[in-house]
Chains A and B, each alone.
Chain A
Amino acid sequence: MSFKKNTLTVTPSAFSFSLLIIIFMTAAASVVSASAVSGPAGPPEADTVEIVIASPTSPVVSDFKYDDGNSLILTWVPSIDDLPVGGKVLGYHVYRSDNGGEAKKIAELIPGSNYFKDDDLYGDTTYVYHVVARSANSRAASINTEAIQPRREWVNLNLKYLFLIALIIAASVIYFIETAKRGKKLFVRKIAGLEAVDEAIGRATEMGRSILFIPGINDMDDVQTLAAITILGRVSRVVADYDTKIRMPVARSLVMTAARETIKASYMAAGRPDAYNDDMVNYITDEQFGYVAAVDGIMVREKPATIFLLGGFFAESLILAETGNSVGAIQIAGTARPAQLPFFIAACDFTLIGEELFAASAYLSGEPKQLGSLKGQDIGKGIAMLAILLGVLLSTIAAVGDTETITEILKFITKVFTVTN
């Protein structure tokens, strides 16, 4: 393939001419057009030799697939003077004109670039682009792209395999729920931390001391908090049965509301609605360490017999767990944050690691719906384990032997588990 230097390259004389036109048009108070072809060239140094470069060619703009209708993709063929070694091109500037208005620079890219994704666009606006290659003292603009409007797609086909696997897992969940409903016992292996829940509540009851339930410092939009609230349902049910005192300081107002509803429901289910009190759950503050200071104070003053630390925790995890340990409470902790788990393991009696936290509610309740969900998740893990084993095996064979069929199978497996967008 051969490239000719684009005749639109801006030379000093051409630039001066353009500049005169622009000055004239500005003085006449008229709108300066995008003039994408000539490009908004910068003044070359008067006392330096002009480095003439070829313009980038074939700029093409297309809609970014499977998005919300706010992105476009611009591609072009780089200038033939854009070479890895000894190239004259110092980079590219991308210009965009909105609804036929003046072209404005929207991006500066490094040499070798041939792709730009423009985000935060509007579906009702028409966009035209051109690309300018720039050397030390000259610029060369491409022609304008066609006018285009970003489109919104309602179905993201990039996620079709994710959808398919999710569908398999969902079908498994339904199958297991129905199986459990028919009375078949679903096996779930023993989880030590959860086996200790009843024992921990019993301990508090025997000692006549309270239970402190800390649901982390995240809001209801964190799935760890949801898991904690679900476990709270089971814990508060046993608490209601035993008539034990429960205290739950929270750092988010929505968590307070959800926790009150949950405990109230448990007390009603236990047939003791009169024993429920809104003050069992109280809001402290949204401030992370303000909350910690208050909870630490509660621990040392009330000396709870049992402390649950379940949910999303950050830097406060060790402070809370260590203070709880110092007052002699039996502590059951659980979070899905890998950075905080080591502290809980070091300072607590039982720790629910990641997935165990999410399995807890099903494990504790033994309800068909929750158990079915847990078994369905195991099907997902089974698929993942199988894919890893098969993928690694084929991958190793393909790398060593370069077998075409195996490489094709491997490509398919990799494609299935690749999530884009």
Chain B
Amino acid sequence: MTHLTMDQLLTLREPGKEPGVQGWRDHAEVCELCRAELERLDQRMARLRALPTLRPGRNRFAELQVRTRRERRWRQIRLFSLAGLGLAAAVALAVVLAPRFGAPAAPARLAEQQELDSIIASSRRLEGAIQDYNPEQRVIDGRTAVVAQSIEDKLARVDHQLQLVDLMDQRVRQQEALRLWRERVGLLNALVDVHVTRARSVGF
């Protein structure tokens, strides 16, 4: 029998059994060259496992934390947008049902409802634009990061206020929702300026 190939030697070190393995094993037991080759293979593998652990030259945990926080916040913003659709639907339902329960739906309220729908749609469009830019995966300079973070903090505050709108009296609920959604769209516009416009200016 000819000497074992590297492929066969490696197979002898695998836990499973392939056809012919016993024949190769028998050969390795009687062939001095193949036995020596197998020993060298074992030693090489042991030396590979004994190589020193390489460590990163820089501590980038702070950067990781910033990215994690931003990703988390951005996820909340996106989730909130979906919840906002629910709120808009609830307000719309109230407007539609109001006449049946004796409260006439004033044209002003209907106009407000239309504006609310339109603003929520704008909010979703802007979020889509930011999502396409994928800010979580971009490396941004410190100044831009500070500006983006401040806007995202304000967005989180507005989102929190929007959650409380549900608890308000029906008469003021719609107006307050409209005011907060307008503010939200303004902040998202600012965020688009920070991310997308900056990306264009540096040629991403």
Query: Are A and B a genuine interacting pair, yes or no?
Result: no
Chain A residues in contact with chain B, CB under 8 A? none
Chain B residues in contact with chain A, CB under 8 A? none
